[in-house]
């Protein structure tokens, strides 16, 4: 089934050809066509009874660390079972063709890096990394089939995924680099994100306030839609390859 052809305004095409500094912020929507559920999609099976925002919190880990550990183990397996899609690869192509391209992601699925993206800022961490909840020591190995949450070899603390939970601060270096990139770009793309979670959702506005042109690529309207300069509604895996072809093909 061929992609729905997209109409890109000519002025946007020429603007993109003339703009050296591009930034793209991505969310769960960019991984949807790889077969990963978005945060909005209801969870399935054992996890259907839990809201992601509830499980992704220090309170939930405090309350039931094994439940939260197993949820991330389940998501890690889900990520292992999928591959980047054409949306991820199109962003790799843009990085090759533009002198300054920064990819800021809220996704913890590592698919951007897996696709070959280099300059990636992970605002909310990465599910492939595991660290001690107490002494922050990272570990590559842990046994997943124990009755309880694996422990840190240094301080015997509980291990946890190296992701940012609700109520936790973002990694300072990643956030500062993201804010700097947003404030100094010519064009800011918001791709596959509902634009609800802060501070990530403020980056598009930070860019706009510095005169950048904001382009939203999303399957449905978001709070950013009325404020964006260009809106291309649809699937990022169908739109981004066509955009690369139209602008840099
Ligand atoms: C913090 C990692 C300091 C874990 C995640 C100001 C106002 C209100 C609230 C707050 C505020 N400041 C802080 C808060 C609290 C909170 C927050 O924003 N709450 C929200 C719910 C209102 N923020 C925090 O807690 C942050 N920390 O601020 O620390 C602090 C501390 C205390 C108090 C104050 C300040 C930490 C936030 C990070 C949490 N961790 N992930 C994990 O993954 O398990 S957030 C997680 O959810 C994702 O990373 C992502 O950010 C978010 C999900 O959003 P999306 O990725 O956009 O996905 P979603 O499913 O919602 O939407 C998908 C979109 O794609 C849809 O629009 C859909 O239409 C579209 N789509 C679908 N398919 C496609 C598609 N588009 C294109 N193509 C397709 N094929
Ligand atoms: Zn430790």
pLDDT digits (tens, 9 = 90+) for 97-110: 999 999 999 999 99
CA–centroid distance, residue 139 to ligand 2 (Å): 10
pTM attached to this predicted model: 0.96
Strands 187-191 and 138-139: unpaired
Neighbours of ion ligand 2 (CB under 5 A): 132, 134-135, 137, 152, 154-155, 157
- Among 88, 100, 112, 124, the one annotated catalytic: 124
| pLDDT higher at 201 or 3 | 201
pLDDT bin (cut points 50, 70, 90) of residue 6 is confident
**Average of pLDDT values for 228-233?**
97
To the query of whether residue 124 is one of the catalytic residues in this protein, the response is: yes
**Average of pLDDT values for 142-157?**
89
Instruction: Give the pLDDT of residue 125.
Output: 98
**Average of pLDDT values for 189-211?**
97
Q: Is 135 exposed, middle or buried (0-12, 13-18, 19+ CB in 10 A)?
A: exposed
**3-state secondary structure (DSSP) of residue 171:** coil
pLDDT bin (cut points 50, 70, 90) of residue 147 is confident
Instruction: Give the pLDDT of residue 38.
Output: 87
**Average of pLDDT values for 228-244?**
97
Average pLDDT of the chain to the nearest whole number: 94
CA–centroid distance, residue 173 to ligand 2 (Å): 22
Pocket residue to mutate for ligand 1, from 31, 38, 78, 120, most atoms within 8 A of Cβ: 38
Instruction: Answer whether 211 contacts ligand 1 (Cβ < 6 A).
Output: no
Instruction: Answer whether 202 contacts ligand 1 (Cβ < 6 A).
Output: no
Instruction: Give the pLDDT of residue 18.
Output: 97
| pLDDT higher at 160 or 141 | 160
- Judge whether residue 196 has pLDDT over 60: yes
**3-state secondary structure (DSSP) of residue 70:** helix
**Average of pLDDT values for 88-94?**
98
- Judge whether residue 111 has pLDDT over 60: yes
Place of tokens 């590592």: 110
Instruction: Answer whether 108 contacts ligand 1 (Cβ < 6 A).
Output: yes
CA–centroid distance, residue 195 to ligand 1 (Å): 7
Strands 138-139 and 125-132: antiparallel
Take atom 48 of ligand 1 and give the residue whose Cα is closest: 106
Q: Which residues pair with 24 in a beta bridge?
A: 103, 189
């Amino acid at each position: 089934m061929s992609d729905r052809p997209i109409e890109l305004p000519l002025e946007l095409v020429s603007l993109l050809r003339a703009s050296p500094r591009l930034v793209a912020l991505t969310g769960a929507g960019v991984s949807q066509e790889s077969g990963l559920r978005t945060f909005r999609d209801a969870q399935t099976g054992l996890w259907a009874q839990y809201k992601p925002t509830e499980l992704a919190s220090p309170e939930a880990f405090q309350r039931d660390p094994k439940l939260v550990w197993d949820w991330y183990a389940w998501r890690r397996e889900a990520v292992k079972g999928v591959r980047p899609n054409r949306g991820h690869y199109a962003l790799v192509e843009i990085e090759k063709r533009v002198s300054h391209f920064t990819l800021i992601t809220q996704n913890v699925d590592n698919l951007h890096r897996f696709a070959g993206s280099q300059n990636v800022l992970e605002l909310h961490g990465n599910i492939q990394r595991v660290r001690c909840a107490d002494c922050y020591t990272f570990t590559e190995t842990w046994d997943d089939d124990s009755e309880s949450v694996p422990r840190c070899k240094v301080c015997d603390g509980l291990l946890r995924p190296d992701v940012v939970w609700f109520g936790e601060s973002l990694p300072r270096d990643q956030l500062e680099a993201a804010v700097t990139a947003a404030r100094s770009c010519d064009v800011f793309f918001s791709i596959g994100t509902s634009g609800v979670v802060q501070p990530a959702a403020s980056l598009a506005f930070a860019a706009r306030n510095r005169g950048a042109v904001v382009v939203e690529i999303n399957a449905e309207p978001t709070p950013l839609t009325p404020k964006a300069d260009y809106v291309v509604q649809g699937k990022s895996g169908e739109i981004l390859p066509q955009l690369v072809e139209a602008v840099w093909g």
